[in-house]
Amino acid sequence: MTSTDPVPLPDYAGEAPGHGVERVDVVVVGAGLAGLTAARALTARGLAVVVAEASDRVGGRTKAREVEGSLVDLGGTFVGPTQDRIIALADELGLDRFATFDAGSNVISWRGAIKHYRGTIPPIGPIGLADIGRIQFEIDRLGRGIDTAHPERSPHAAKWDSHSLTSWLRSIHALPSSHTLMSIVSGTTWGCEPGEISFLQVLRYIAMAGGISRMLDTAGGAQEEHFRQGSWQVSARMAAELGDRVRLATPVTAVDWTDDGAVVTAGPARFRAARVVLAVPPALRARIAFSPALPTPYSALTQRWPQGILSKAYAVYEQPFWRDAGLSGQALADTGPVTITFDASPHDGSRGILLGFIGGDHARHWDALPPAERRIQALSSFAEVFGEKALTPLGFTDQLWAAEAWTGGGPTAAPAVGTVVSTAPYLREPVGPLHWAGTETAEAWTGFMDGAVRSGERAAREILRALRPFAEVAP
Amino acid sequence: MTSTDPVPLPDYAGEAPGHGVERVDVVVVGAGLAGLTAARALTARGLAVVVAEASDRVGGRTKAREVEGSLVDLGGTFVGPTQDRIIALADELGLDRFATFDAGSNVISWRGAIKHYRGTIPPIGPIGLADIGRIQFEIDRLGRGIDTAHPERSPHAAKWDSHSLTSWLRSIHALPSSHTLMSIVSGTTWGCEPGEISFLQVLRYIAMAGGISRMLDTAGGAQEEHFRQGSWQVSARMAAELGDRVRLATPVTAVDWTDDGAVVTAGPARFRAARVVLAVPPALRARIAFSPALPTPYSALTQRWPQGILSKAYAVYEQPFWRDAGLSGQALADTGPVTITFDASPHDGSRGILLGFIGGDHARHWDALPPAERRIQALSSFAEVFGEKALTPLGFTDQLWAAEAWTGGGPTAAPAVGTVVSTAPYLREPVGPLHWAGTETAEAWTGFMDGAVRSGERAAREILRALRPFAEVAP
């Protein structure tokens, strides 16, 4: 077979004839960053691709909304150094980046007092600082020993998987202040409490991001820049290129597969394909009726990588008034519901926009409130650190990722204690014609937009190697 | 409204007219023991009910198969004292029970040696026995302090939820022998390793079963009896009564709901109902697209109650040959893949049948083997404790519950560390017109057939109270 031969399609026995089954080479399930990246790469190599998206929009965990004339990123927002794949892709698609506003003092609401500080080290007292310093050192040190692509193969994998972040912090006698700070990190990074996530996943995730500083920092870190046109445009522009290959409001309900191919059922539509890319979060794989059923470890995996719970609140003001007070717009709070705040104003400073993260237990409670009450609580959080002006924005919006039916939570999965070693080997290992994508399957920057793009590229490479064995496939 | 008034049906706005929507009072999703029990109770009170079952059979986690002329229970098998609701129901449906064979010596394969023993105390040495004795005492003692219906309200709930069974055993310096024994218990009771399950759930589950002895024992315990006609007949007979109200091969894909009712989509079929009973395991609730999406804690729950991994192997022999050797057919093994064995011979002893349980990591590996290899390994386990005769049965069959698409695993859910306190409040709390059933939602004997029946009765009571407010509803 040469690269110009048509891909042989499976002669699928289970299919009733004459029911308008559409033949393609590859069905991609999910039009998020991962799925669209895979579809784009496969289409570029001449394969016939359909992207079946359950919801009525593309973008997955990126989403845009206009508030008082300003665009806000309701999901994935920031990019930073070494996130090379999302940056290359966005460059290629003509998007512009600009630096996250980072001048001035940060604010922390801590143990009932408000303090201003410069840089990344919050003023929580010398003992508290020494303790969080040694914890950061230790997590980074342990992380360097982790096989991030195959965490189950790491030294002491079972031991770290038997700990949650909380139980590990207890085991090293962390101070209460460090428990609080790590709880804020956990809530916004994984959308869960520190007791809900396997410490093996914590180590792996942070190691993939290049350490705690790079993961949490603005300048030089994962929050360094954002897109002028909004991150959702990455997906929107890929979808525009793909045209009618992208089918919205087409939830895949069943995948009947053999070693040779699959028939994908999405409502009344059916597609016959040689390969399928499942570019949805691991938990959402469970939405699909596979026939035959997925092998035991794969089926177990779909039930053991729950999505975190993360919500975002955006308030739009006439001006970024905090800048006048010498503040960066960045804040930490041990109160909540908002525990971390960023300045997400437009690049020209034409408006002032505060972005607040509400994660884990805070989100469990806050999500259940009526919209007006959610707004009051979020604005109160902003006012706590930036003053009363924050209470009267021009506009306000929020996004509850756990209420997003076809996402199931955010920002990423938070596998619990004792579940990573037994499930991680199956995250991206293909099953017959089924390939897996999505940021949870990434070998670098898992949980970030960059990981999503990488996973889509990897899934496309797997398929090209299988269907175009004599063609050159980019590594 | 009196009990003879028709139930007012919702005027559901989202529905396109004229598409053959079937109007009923209640849609029950899932024709397992819980769903059928609920449907039967509601039908008896004059409500119009449809039971939508995804698979092509009723019975859920009970299932029957004939092997060499003998019937075997592929799922739930045994009943015992205080499992009053399943027993009452089976009595009513005309099923007969008979005692699990329990005469003679038990066998244990332990640390490379085979030993025979009487009663429930395996000969693992005085130090090992003392250790497992104190562990049993402690688990039973702690269990008495648990609010089993609302574990999150128990004293020290967060502490116990922060432990797995393994980490709790470590915290009390359990001996390796006790870790091994509890691993066998965990694998067969919850289908998971002791490190995978929250200790709060362990305490709660065992307390609901009346303590470790009652949970594990044959005579006087949960394995005391089984049904001559097979446990699946409980469901089969209820389904026969319900007639064409039960719709097989009708997987529910979407539930659109308001406070007043719901439209349930199951393939091409649509039902409009005042109430819906979701009688599927918590993890399988995630298979359904709810619109609006379930509130955050409910959506989080569906991703945090994974089904265990449990498989069963049955070998059918001409005779129960072990009885001639003075053996009960009951065995424990620290080797595997089969770790617990029972005599499941017909009541008249016309055949000899061994039933072996393969759970947790053993099942992860064993499930992946080709059928012939699974058979060899299971028979080798039987032969290890009952001799070479076990290698040549008349017939053999096995059941991989994790490969059962519409069950997702077995025997019940095994929520991980840190997930019970935040999810348990939502297990059976209705959401608008949505009611929850299934053995995981039971307030007694969760994980057992009895819990399933109780949950179906409770869901029916909730609905009767709502739709027949002036009728007398059995407590």
Looking at mean pLDDT, say which of A15-19, A215-219, B289-293, B370-374 comes out highest: B370-374
Chain A positions touching B166 (Cβ under 8 A) are 162, 418
Cβ distance of B296 and A363 shorter than 8 Å:
yes
Q: Reduce the DSSP state of residue A395 to 3 states and report it.
A: strand
Mean pLDDT over B203-209 rounds to: 97
Nearest to B152 by CA among B409, B453, B415: B415
In A118-253, at which residue ranges do the beta strands (DSSP E only) sit?
225-227, 246-247
pLDDT of A88 above 70: yes
Shortest Cα distance from A456 to chain B (angstroms)? 24
Task: Report the chain A residue with the minimal C-alpha distance to residue B267.
Answer: A267
Average pLDDT over residues B367-396: 98
Do B364 and A422 make contact, defined as CB atoms within 8 angstroms?
Answer: yes
A217, A238 in Cβ contact below 8 A?
no
**Which among A286, A299, A364 has the least Cβ separation from residue B286?**
A286
Residue A4: its pLDDT value, please? Answer: 36
Quick check: B162 and A162 CB within 8 A?
no
| Residue B152 C-alpha, separation from nearest chain A C-alpha, in angstroms | 14
Q: Which residues of B touch A410 (CB under 8 A)?
A: none
Which band of pLDDT confidence, cut at 50, 70 and 90, is reported for residue B468? confident
As a whole number, mean pLDDT of residues B322-327 equals 96
Q: How far apart are CA A425 and CA B416, in angstroms?
A: 19
Question: Helix B33-44 vs helix B232-242: angle between axes, to the nearest 10 degrees?
Answer: 30
The residue among B206, B178, B200, B182 whose CA lies nearest residue B192 is: B182
Residues of chain B contacting residue A257, judged by C-beta atoms under 8 Å apart: none
For chains A and B, count residue pairs whose Cβ atoms are closer than 8 Å.
Answer: 149
pLDDT beyond 60 at A16:
no
Assembly ipTM: 0.91
pLDDT over 70 at B7, yes or no: no
Residue B475: is its pLDDT beyond 60? no
All residues of chain B having their beta carbon less than 8 Å from the beta carbon of residue A165 are: none
As a three-state string, the secondary structure of chain B is CCCCCCCCCCCCCCCCCCCCEEECCEEEECCCHHHHHHHHHHHHCCCCEEEECCCCCCCCCCCEEEECCEEEECCCCEECCCCHHHHHHHHHCCCCEEECCCCCEEEEEECCEEEEECCCCCCCCHHHHHHHHHHHHHHHHHHHCCCCCCHHHCCCHHHHHCCEHHHHHHHCCCCHHHHHHHHHHHHHHCCCCCCCCEHHHHHHHHHHCCCHHHHHCCCCCCCCEEECCCCHHHHHHHHHHHHHHEECCCCCCEEEEECCEEEEEECCEEEEECEEEECCCHHHHCCCEEECCCCHHHHHHHCCCCECCEEEEEEEECCCHHHHCCEEEEEEECCCCCCEEEECCCCCCCCEEEEEEEECHHHHHHHCCCHHHHHHHHHHHHHHHHCHHHHCCCEEEEEEHHHCCCCCCCCCECCCCCCHHHHHHHCCCCECCEEECCHHHCCCCCCCHHHHHHHHHHHHHHHHHHHCCCCCCCC
Extents of the domains making up chain B:
21-59+232-294+431-467, 64-80+99-103+309-403, 127-216
Find all residues with CB under 8 Å of B141, minimum gap 6, and list them. Answer: none
pLDDT tens by residue, B275-314: 999 999 999 999 999 999 999 999 999 999 999 999 999 9
Say whether pLDDT at B10 is over 60. no
Residues in chain B within 8 Å Cβ distance of A404: 293
| pLDDT tens for each residue of B419-466 | 999 999 999 999 999 999 999 999 999 999 999 999 999 999 999 999
Averaged pLDDT score across all residues of chain B: 94
| Mutation target vs A (from B296, B304, B309, B400; most A CBs, 10 A cutoff) | B296
Q: How confident is the model at residue B14 (pLDDT cuts 50, 70, 90)?
A: very low
Residue A204's closest CA among A133, A162, A138, A145?
Answer: A145
Q: Select the residue of A161, A195, A404 nearest B293 (Cβ to Cβ).
A: A404
CATH topology of domain A129-216: Guanine Nucleotide Dissociation Inhibitor; domain 1 (1.10.405)
CATH architecture under which domain A21-59+232-294+431-467 falls: 3-Layer(bba) Sandwich (3.50)
Strand partners, B78: B226
Most B CBs within 10 A among A299, A305, A401, A431, hence the mutation to make, goes to A299
With beta carbons under 8 A apart, name residues in chain A contacting B292. Answer: 403
Place B268 in a pLDDT band, splitting at 50, 70 and 90.
confident
Distance CA B275, CA B459 (A): 10
Interface test with B, best of A166, A303, A362, A421 (most B CBs within 10 A): A303
Arithmetic mean of pLDDT, A193-206: 98
Residue-wise pLDDT for B86-122, tens only, equals 999 999 999 999 999 989 999 999 999 999 999 878 8
CATH hierarchy code of domain B64-80+99-103+309-403: 3.90.660.10
State the Cα–Cα distance between residues B397 and B382, nearest whole angstrom. 14
Q: What pLDDT was estimated at residue B154?
A: 98
pLDDT at A1: 32
Selection from A234, A248, A282, A241 nearest residue A73 by Cα:
A234
The answer to whether A124 and A181 are in contact (CB under 8 A) is yes
In this complex, the residue of B164, B193, B402 whose CB is nearest that of residue A299 is B402
Which CATH number describes the domain made up of B127-216?
A: 1.10.405.10
For an interface test with B, give the residue of A407, A417, A431, A440 to mutate (most B CBs within 10 A). A417
Q: Which CATH architecture best describes the domain A64-79+98-103+220-227+308-403?
A: Alpha-Beta Complex (3.90)
* pLDDT value of position A470: 74
pLDDT band at A18 (very low <50, low <70, confident <90, very high): very low
What confidence tens digit (pLDDT) does each residue in B112-149 have?
A: 999 999 987 889 999 999 999 999 999 999 999 999 99
